[in-house]
Amino acid sequence: MMRFLKWLPVILLGMLLILMFSLFERYPHARWVGPSGMAATDAYHAVGLWLNRLGAQPHRMLTLSELSQLPPQATLLLGDRRDKIISPQHVDQLLDWVKRGGRLLVEAEQPGETDLLLEALQIKHEADNEAHEAADVSQFALDGRAFRVQFMPYQNLEASIQQAEWHVKDRFGLRVVHLRMGKGRITVMSNFDFMVDNALARHDHADFLWYVLNQGGPPSPVWVGAIIEGESTWQLLARTALPALITTAILLLAWLWHIAPRFGPLQPEPQPIRRRLSEHLAAVGRFWWQHGLQANMLNLVRQWVMQRIQRHPTLAPLPTDQLTTQLAERTRLTTLDIDHALHGQPKRSEAFLRCMQALIRIHQSL
């Protein structure tokens, strides 16, 4: 009986768990967690994986120097944000490659940004400030094939449709223009939003992109140049902040030259200089004189001397005239100097110094 009671809580807990799992209903719940890894930094990562699965042999273009390495029959997918690094020479190089048989799929720059490539093709891109509604799903047909594609309507293309082999237009404006140039072709789109991240899996986006890349022909190598790094950090600084770099280098060299003699063994600390009492008194005197307190200093010295005279047994009872004569004999000064030292009011610094010297000699003679 006791063993049964010991296991009773475990039995009750097991029955409770069985009852809970039998009463609750389990159902799946999907939650968007966002991209990670390469997909978090590369908006065209899904396009690359999809092209690789279809045998299109995708390559990633990382620098502008790779433009000269493009195969004649390849397809280049060129995204926006290239206006800061692409030059007219690069545009001419791209167009020459297209004329030799290359296929270029290019995205218009952001609204308000200069687009040298579209300017060379006489195509404009402008923001659509009236497109505040949600993007429509455009339905159109190309070569007898129907497509449903959702384009973002934040900007429109402006081009001569008569020169285009085909184009796509919705109620907001022109979205795609396809041109023939020499042996190759160029497809200009208002934006690539329909193919980035998970948008490629919606509607007929993947089928439409495959049609644009191959035009019904066999798959060709695709070079993805959505993010082009045209300049290194040092090249960018040299182009935009060369004076600041030169100034910084000069200041750094001057600082190194200044601290260079300090390198090596440490020198012993010098002993503190011991000042003499006379130097301290001279400094005090200069302080009093600079602040107009010389009269107070003279009175203090006179009181100090008179207190010494009053304590002298032979000089204390003498009247002023006899005291002046006795002090003159003791100090070998004139009676006039003694009188000025004890009672005069010097106006100039020379007279003040003579009075102070006389008072000191009087004190030393007592």
Domain membership flag for residue 265: no
Average pLDDT over residues 217-223: 74
Predicted local distance difference test score (pLDDT) of residue 253? 92
Among 217, 233, 249, the domain-final residue is 233
Residue 286 and residue 191 share a domain: no
Q: Indicate whether 180 and 121 sit together in one domain.
A: yes
319 and 224 in one domain? no
Compute the average pLDDT of residues 141-162. Answer: 82
* pLDDT at 133 (0 to 100): 59
Provide the CB-side half-sphere exposure for 260 (13 A, CA): 7
Express each pLDDT in 166-199 by its tens digit.
Answer: 888 888 888 888 888 888 888 888 888 888 877 8
For 1, 17, 254, the CA distances from 4, given in Å and listed in that order, are 5, 20, 90
Average pLDDT over residues 316-339: 81
> Do 203 and 283 lie in a common domain?
no
pLDDT in tens, 9-42: 777 888 888 887 777 777 788 877 776 667 666 7
Residue 97 forms part of a structural domain: yes
pLDDT of the residue at 85: 74
Residue 333 has pLDDT above 50, yes or no: yes
Cα–Cα distance, 352 to 95 (Å, whole number): 97
In this structure, is residue 272 part of a structural domain? no
Domain end point (choices 176, 198, 233) = 233
Residues of the chain with pLDDT > 90, as a percent, come to: 2
Please check whether residues 145 and 88 belong to one and the same domain: yes
Residue, of 210 and 347, whose pLDDT is higher: 210
Rg, Å, the chain Cα set:
49
- Would 29 be classed as within a structural domain? no
Number of domains in the chain: 2
Of 233, 267, 291, the last residue of a domain is 233
Q: What is the pTM of this model?
A: 0.53
The reply to whether 76 falls in a domain is yes
Residue 231 pLDDT: 54
Do 210 and 96 belong to one domain? yes
User: Higher confidence at residue 265 or residue 360?
Assistant: 360
Residues 250-303 have pLDDT tens digits of 999 998 888 776 666 777 877 777 777 667 767 777 777 777 777 777 788 888
Check whether residue 222 and residue 285 sit in a common domain.
Answer: no
The answer to whether residues 207 and 86 belong to one domain is yes
Same domain, 96 and 201: yes
Instruction: Pick the more confident residue, 86 or 236.
Output: 86
Same structural domain, 200 and 60? yes
Domain that holds residue 65: 42-233
- pLDDT over 70 for what percent of the chain? 88
CB-facing half-sphere around the CA of 332: CA atoms within 13 A: 1
> Between 216 and 106, whose confidence is greater?
106
pLDDT of residue 232: 63
Nearest to 190 by CA among 240, 125, 235: 125
Lowest-confidence pick of 128-132, 149-153, 263-267: 128-132
Lowest mean pLDDT among 116-125, 228-237, 291-300, 347-356: 228-237
- Which comes out higher in pLDDT, residue 56 or 361? 361
From the CB of residue 18, how many other CB atoms can be counted at a distance below 10 Å? 10
DSSP for 36-102? -THHHH-TTHHHHHHHHHTT---EE--SGGGGGG--TT-EEEE-S--TTT--HHHHHHHHHHHHTT-
Question: CATH number, domain at 207?
Answer: 3.40.50
